[in-house]
Amino acid sequence: MDKSSIRALLEDLKNSDELIINKATGELWRIWFEEKGVAGLEAIRRSENWLQAGEIDRAEAVLNKLIEDLPDFAEAWNRRAVLYYTLGQYRKAAKDCEMVVKFNPFHFGAWHGLGLCYAGLGEYREAILAFQKALEIQPYAVQNQRLILECTARLS
């Protein structure tokens, strides 16, 4: 997909129509998952299957190999960040989220995840900044608005 199409989808995220937002969100996720073709997508699916089966080491190994083979595949980094986050390894997850936004600065999921990691670490100012970045991309994401309020309250 060309950059102008992606820009149009990013603009759709700023529309107040929930149907338009949902369609754009789904399409962006599809693009991100399919960015490196069938091989990348299949590896992500394999890791997700291992994760769901409780085989965390195998899921991590698949993602590590995918990142080694395709180091600029933002969604591989994002999936590994999700894995680390679910294990409570917030610092490792945050580092992976930072790699995602390095490759794809419009990845609202990674900005949201980065905010969750910082909140989990008790670094509320950093969490707020990450949630604000996510909101710049997805201004109608109520969850990020709520999380900013929660983090702000914890600073008081």
Could you list the pLDDT tens digit for every one of the 156 residues in the chain? Answer: 578 899 999 999 999 999 999 999 999 999 999 999 999 999 999 999 999 999 999 999 999 999 999 999 999 999 999 999 999 999 999 999 999 999 999 999 999 999 999 999 999 999 999 999 999 999 999 999 999 999 999 998
At 1 the pLDDT is 56
Domain 3-155 has CATH 1.25.40.10: yes
At 4 the pLDDT is 85
At 2 the pLDDT is 72
At 156 the pLDDT is 81
At 13 the pLDDT is 97
Q: State the pTM of this model.
A: 0.95
Print the SS3 string covering the chain. Answer: CCHHHHHHHHHHCCCCCHHHHHHHHHHHHHHHHCCCHHHHHHHHHHHHHHHHCCCHHHHHHHHHHHHHHCCCCHHHHHHHHHHHHHCCCHHHHHHHHHHHHHHCCCCHHHHHHHHHHHHHCCCHHHHHHHHHHHHHHCCCCHHHHHHHHHHHHHHC
